[in-house]
Amino acid sequence: MDNFTERRQAERIKTNKKLRIYSSVSRVPYTVDISDISMRGASVRTKFLPTLDEVITFEAIDDYVQRLHFGNARVRWVKDSQNRGDSGFGIEFDDDFPLEVIN
């Protein structure tokens, strides 16, 4: 496991919620599935991968694509896989994420 994963201090919770991502990958935002999340960061599944250390803007959205929370985060790891559903990246939020918005 990478050093960033080993340094995690906040417990992650599994969820099936989504984030809308604004990054260098596309001129338009795209939606990703959250694998797990804590107040400090999240792991997401997607085939659209930003660059390592890129600062992205995100929006937590509900099932009706209404914005629940937004902010900035830094990409801390990227996993590119040929297996469907295995690609994704990890982010560290600039500010604590209010977990109550995804429950």
Hey, what CATH topology would domain 3-96 get?
A: Thrombin, subunit H (2.40.10)
Are residues 37 and 67 in contact, defined by beta-carbon separation less than 8 angstroms? no
Averaged pLDDT for residues 69-96:
92
Q: What is the mean pLDDT of the chain?
A: 89
Token pair 């994704």 is at which residue?
88
Burial of 48 (0-12, 13-18, 19+ CB in 10 A): middle
Q: What is the pLDDT of residues 8-56, one digit of tens each?
A: 567 889 998 999 999 999 999 999 999 999 999 999 999 999 999 999 9
